[in-house]
Structure 1
Amino acid sequence: MLFTLIAFALALGVLVTFHELGHYWVARLCGVRVLRFSVGFGKVLARRTDRHGTEWALSAIPLGGYVKMLDDAPEGASPAEADQAFNRKTLGQRSAIVMAGPFANLLLAAILYTLLNLMGTSEPAAVLAPPAHSTAAAQAGLLGGDRILAVNDQPVKSWSEVRWQLLDAVTSGGEASVTVEGESGAQRERVLRFQAEQIEPDGADPMAEAGLALALPRPVVKSVNVGSPGAHAGLREGDIILSVEGVQQPTAQVFIKHIQEHAGKSVPLTVLRDGAPVALNVAPKAESGDDGREVGRIGVMLGADFPMVTVRYGLFDSARRGVTRTVDTVWLSLKMMGRMVVGDISLRNVSGPVTIADYAGQTARIGLAAYIGFLALISVSIGVLNLLPIPMLDGGHLMYYAVEAIRGKPVPEKWLENGQRVGLGLLVALMGLAFFNDFSRLFS
């Protein structure tokens, strides 16, 4: 729990602070005086005032931060001091300052995605399991063992890249072309056709429902005990089990179960060794199992054989992919919000701080790459959310500025007051829904 809270606080602190830095940088460029930049909320633990008169504060509650600007010039201020007030700036300058926060989050996401591409990650290759009959993958003619090389003419290296490229079409419906390489090495083009589905947070994986799933790893011999039945049969380290007594491509569980059930009997095997199939016969030795029953054992340790790829790109390609991934995520987020509004996607997909904190802890435990990916995704979410035209959010201020541009004068104070009430009500309702969904997942 403590680890999860630390991961969540760190994530929120970084993302919100970067958001506020966006406001700060552009405000300074536009000549607005910034009174305070606080990392965190509540009691100030440490502070320092720079030469521009900005107080930099570290506060006790590490859940974000804020920027306080000079909104109105105080009475008796000189013309130069009055010109430093936010309200004295042009409509374009005020809009730029407001937009800078969300755009800073989008910039941070692009930087994080770029960093991931530069770091490189080891991921499963996109080798498919046999698709179930009548699924989109089966109807397109995809086969078990096919390896996906490209989606919509975009080369892909790993299963995670395939999932990302197909995510929009799978969730929203539509078509996608894939280039696959069969087990024989021959390449072919196939077109997948998807139907839009109702998306539930605890529903089935839409990729799996479309017949697109990773092939199960094949059992591989990791070690052979000296003098064991496996050693007498000729099994060697590195042998990949292709079949056991006629069962083709058995999983490790199937192979072990078959050996256990055939104590004292000769079991024919086919293994892949140095690229060629080798036929063997092994006689499992009868031993007493954990429950006292007699089971067969052959004295070998099994592991999983699955093709892995290292996904890494150069600097310029990483930057291009980082920007593209950010733009695609923004577009997908907006589409999902639109589908949620019209009822195509369940409101149960709305998540709040509890779920985000849980994901922060989970990804941090998995490793640095997973945590960076989580930060990038949440940074995009913060940027998109703040651009929505809801009063009290940055997008709400931009909406007022758009009205001001049309009217040629600022929005009346009464409009602002009513908008604040509406915005507050919407945000309270949204947070209430998010917390309800969080605790429903927690206790279900």
Structure 2
Amino acid sequence: MSFLYTAVAFLLALGPLIIFHELGHYWVARACGVKVLRFSVGMGKVVWSRRFGRDQTEWAISALPLGGYVQFLDSRDPETAPKDEKDRGRDFVRQSVWKRIAIVAAGPIANFLLAIALFAALFMHGLEEPGTKLRPMASNTPAYAAGLRGGDSIVAVNGEPVAGWSDLRWQVTHMAVDKVDARFEVRAANGSQYAATIPASAMKEPGPESDAMAALGLDVWIGMPLVENAVDGGAGARAGLRKGDTVLGADGKPFAHAADFVQAVRAAPGRTLQLQVRRGEQTLTLPLTPARDAKGQGLASVQLAPAIERVTVQSGPVDALVKGARRTWEMTLLTFKMIGKIVTGQASLKNITGPIAIADYAGQTARMGLATFLGFIAVVSVSLGVMNLLPIPVLDGGHLLYYSLEVLTGRPLPERVHALAQRAGVALLFMLMALAIFNDLSQRL
């Protein structure tokens, strides 16, 4: 059932993005006077089709559910070449180079516009997310060395205000990719303000196996351990813990947040801990002897209530649209920078992920709610737009490269060179897909 849920979420995320991308090509081609022969969702053999409109364009669903294409009237291919003299002016090849550039670029641009619209809608709707209050960090982390402390809240990074945890993560990720110092403006727990700087040398590249925030010691505040439920017969219930109890500390050592309680329990299998517990107006001492789990760690069989402080980030229509455009632009630049680092060897090839990773994230975000899922779709839409702009033959970026050379030289690329480039592009694309799937599988096995 979980696999089916993930598969459906994957198709709902990727399918509309591919359709919107191809619609970009379709709309601009029609506006430029090019005749569209087929609009296909999916690749390979056509399994269903219907013809509509003055041109009797074939709208089709093909066997392979990944990808899609728009087929134009094109004299380079005998199957799609004009059969009627009156259609010759609607041949894609006969259009000016600028029209061809517009038609090819329209697909990625459609993905960027969709991302802007989705981000703007989310900003207008308002997103409830964790605030920027920090969990106490270990003394050997860059965050602690910079002067940051648990209970303090970050209000800006390098002059950019941050309203919630996602804003903070986004800014820190930028700093890590750009390898620049991160200057934090901080509001301390006592209300005072101070500044802290983490040097670029302490930043780690974000990726499938590394988290830029965690590497710095930055994690969201989760509050004190508040008991939601003590499982009958479990160590917590035998110790006398009840719903509503707040665990203040163990063996005379106070807890700063819920993670301290979890760590104390895991470190004490079979050993009795003297818990200091607040129950209403009383402070009690309860003996907790954690059981030993399959990994040899302590287990209290206690469910803690969520204690993350949350904020609602919301914007007006104009501000939301500006924020959506800005987020899309920044994410596009960030993606290109990461690709550049991979190409130059500054970042690991393990950062290249494929459909399995996308499906996994689609399933996870779908379970978190519609807003989170739409945010994920917006991110994938940006990635799809960027990927198609890469100067690889067979992709939109490869065709844009051909037409750019035509603008510079005044003549189209020779057919022989074009054919060789297409074959090389297909081979490169298959190698990248194989690498992406290998990375997906190796990170999940």
SS at match of 2:225: strand
Q: Which amino acid aligns with 1:337?
A: I
Q: Which amino acid aligns with 2:313?
A: V
Relative distance call for 1:320 and 1:334 in structure 2 (3 A) is same
Asked if structure 1 preserves the Cα contact closer than 8 Å seen for 2:73 and 2:90, the reply is yes
Relative distance call for 1:115 and 1:288 in structure 2 (3 A) is closer
In 1, Cα distance between equivalents of 2:345 and 2:394: 25
Name which of 344, 355, 360 aligns with 2:357.
Answer: 355
Name which of 237, 253, 258 aligns with 2:262.
Answer: 253
Aligned to 1:312: 314
Name which of 70, 77, 90 aligns with 2:85.
Answer: 77
CA shift digits 1:394-427 (9 cap, x unpaired): 1111111111111111111122122112212211
SS at match of 2:443: helix
Name which of 431, 434, 444 aligns with 1:442.
Answer: 444
1:90 pairs with 2:96 = yes
Aligned to 1:378: 380
Relative distance call for 1:441 and 1:322 in structure 2 (3 A) is same
Asked if structure 1 preserves the Cα contact closer than 8 Å seen for 2:353 and 2:440, the reply is yes
Asked if structure 2 preserves the Cα contact closer than 8 Å seen for 1:175 and 1:191, the reply is yes
CA shift digits 1:304-324 (9 cap, x unpaired): 423111222222222111111
Cα offset, 1:74, TM superposition: 2.3
In 2, Cα distance between equivalents of 1:420 and 1:377: 29
Asked if structure 1 preserves the Cα contact closer than 8 Å seen for 2:108 and 2:385, the reply is yes
Bigger CA drift: 204-213 or 98-107? 204-213
Asked if structure 2 preserves the Cα contact closer than 8 Å seen for 1:262 and 1:284, the reply is no
Relative distance call for 1:87 and 1:286 in structure 2 (3 A) is closer
Q: Which amino acid aligns with 2:333?
A: W
Bigger CA drift: 82-91 or 238-247? 238-247
Aligned to 2:138: 132
Cα offset, 1:331, TM superposition: 0.6
SS at match of 2:59: strand
In 2, Cα distance between equivalents of 1:39 and 1:19: 11
Aligned to 1:340: 342
Aligned to 2:237: none
* Equivalent residue pairs, number: 420
In 2, Cα distance between equivalents of 1:349 and 1:153: 29
Aligned to 1:105: 111
SS at match of 1:195: helix
Relative distance call for 1:183 and 1:239 in structure 2 (3 A) is farther
In 1, Cα distance between equivalents of 2:92 and 2:224: 64
1:156 pairs with 2:158 = no
CA shift digits 1:32-79 (9 cap, x unpaired): 11112123343333413113432223445443322111113625512x
Relative distance call for 1:284 and 1:134 in structure 2 (3 A) is closer
In 2, Cα distance between equivalents of 1:253 and 1:132: 16
In 2, Cα distance between equivalents of 1:158 and 1:387: 32
Asked if structure 2 preserves the Cα contact closer than 8 Å seen for 1:47 and 1:58, the reply is no
CA shift digits 1:130-183 (9 cap, x unpaired): 333353322321111111112222222211210001102124421122221111
Cα offset, 1:218, TM superposition: 1.0
Bigger CA drift: 57-66 or 371-380? 57-66
Aligned to 1:395: 397
CA shift digits 1:302-346 (9 cap, x unpaired): 524231112222222221111111111111111111111121211
Name which of 121, 132, 137 aligns with 2:127.
Answer: 121
Relative distance call for 1:189 and 1:198 in structure 2 (3 A) is closer
Relative distance call for 1:412 and 1:142 in structure 2 (3 A) is same
Aligned to 1:169: 175
SS at match of 1:188: strand
Q: 1:196-211 maps to which residues of 2 (within 5 A)?
A: 199=205, 201=207, 203-211=209-217
After superposing on structure 2, the runs of 4+ consecutive aligned residues of structure 1 that deviate more than 4 Å are 196-202, 221-224, 235-245, 254-258, 260-263, 267-271, 285-291
Relative distance call for 1:269 and 1:420 in structure 2 (3 A) is closer
CA shift digits 1:370-415 (9 cap, x unpaired): 2212211111111111111111111111111111111111111122
1:53 pairs with 2:56 = yes
SS at match of 2:156: strand
Relative distance call for 1:61 and 1:47 in structure 2 (3 A) is farther
Asked if structure 2 preserves the Cα contact closer than 8 Å seen for 1:404 and 1:410, the reply is yes
Relative distance call for 1:411 and 1:196 in structure 2 (3 A) is farther
Q: Which amino acid aligns with 1:154?
A: E
Percentage of pairs with the same residue: 44
In 2, Cα distance between equivalents of 1:106 and 1:395: 15
Gaps of 5+ in 1: 225-234, 292-296
Q: Which amino acid aligns with 1:188?
A: Y
Q: 1:270-289 maps to which residues of 2 (within 5 A)?
A: 280-284=282-286
Aligned to 2:297: none
Q: Which amino acid aligns with 1:77?
A: E
Gaps of 5+ in 2: 76-80, 231-240, 294-299
Alignment RMSD, CA only?
A: 3.4
SS at match of 1:345: coil
Aligned to 1:230: none
In 2, Cα distance between equivalents of 1:47 and 1:121: 41
Aligned to 1:232: none
Q: Which amino acid aligns with 2:171?
A: Q
Aligned to 1:63: 66
Q: Which amino acid aligns with 2:107?
A: G
In 2, Cα distance between equivalents of 1:313 and 1:239: 38
Bigger CA drift: 418-427 or 241-250? 241-250
Cα offset, 1:85, TM superposition: 1.2
Question: What's the TM-score, normalizing by structure 1?
Answer: 0.84
Relative distance call for 1:122 and 1:416 in structure 2 (3 A) is same
In 1, Cα distance between equivalents of 2:31 and 2:290: 78
SS at match of 1:189: strand
In 1, Cα distance between equivalents of 2:290 and 2:396: 69
Aligned to 1:44: 47
Aligned to 1:427: 429
Q: Which amino acid aligns with 2:126?
A: G
